[in-house]
Amino acid sequence: MQFTIHQRFFFDAAHTLDRAIETESSRRIHGHTYHAEVSITGPRHEGSGMVSDLGYLRQRLDQLREQLDHRFLDEVEGLGKPTLENLSLFIATALADLQPAPSRVRVWREGIGDGCVLDLTP
pLDDT category, 22, cuts 50, 70, 90? confident
User: What are the DSSP E strand ranges found in the chain?
Assistant: 3-15, 30-42, 71-72, 102-109, 114-119
CB 40 within 8 A of CB 4: yes
Mean pLDDT of 69-81: 97
Q: For residue range 33-49, what is the model confidence (pLDDT) as tens digits?
A: 999 999 999 999 999 99
CB 82 within 8 A of CB 88: no
Structural domains for the chain: 3-119 (3.30.479.10)
What is the three-class DSSP state of 100?
coil
pTM: 0.93
Query: Any idea which of 9-23, 63-77, 88-102 has the lowest mean pLDDT?
Result: 9-23
What was the pLDDT predicted at 67? 97
The percent of residues above 70 in pLDDT, for the chain, comes to 100
CB 17 within 8 A of CB 27: yes
CA distance 70 to 26: 18
- In this structure, the number of other CB atoms found within 10 A of the CB of residue 13 comes to 19
